[in-house]
Amino acid sequence: MDSIQGASPGPLLRRLGPVSLVSLLTTLVLLFGFQGEAILAQPLVIAVLAVPILIQVYFNAGLAYWFSRCFGVAWCVAAPAALIGASNFFELAVAAAISLSGLQSGAALATVVGVLVEVPVMLSVVTIVKRTRTWYERPVSAARS
In a domain, 4, yes or no: no
Q: Is residue 129 within 8 Å of residue 121, measured between CB atoms?
A: no
Q: Which residues lie below 8 Å from residue 121, measured CB to CB, with a gap of 6+?
A: 53, 54, 57, 58
Please tell me the predicted confidence (pLDDT) of residue 85: 82
Task: Report if residue 76 sits inside a domain.
Answer: yes
Into how many domains does the chain fold? 1
Within-domain flag for 132:
yes
Q: What is the pLDDT of residue 111?
A: 83
Residue 135 lies in domain: 10-144
pLDDT digit string (tens) for the chain, length 145 residues: 454 566 677 888 788 888 887 887 787 777 778 778 888 888 898 899 889 989 999 999 999 999 999 999 999 999 999 998 888 777 778 778 878 888 778 888 888 888 888 888 988 999 999 999 999 998 876 555 5
Assess if residue 1 is contained within a domain: no
Any domain includes 3:
no
Sign for the pseudo-dihedral over CA of 119, 64, 16, 96 = negative
The CA distance from 136 to 130, in Å, is 10
Phi first, then psi, for residue 34 (nearest 5°) are -75, -30
C-beta contacts of 41-50 below 8 A and 24+ residues apart: 42/109, 45/109, 46/113, 49/110, 49/113, 49/114, 49/117, 50/113, 50/116, 50/117
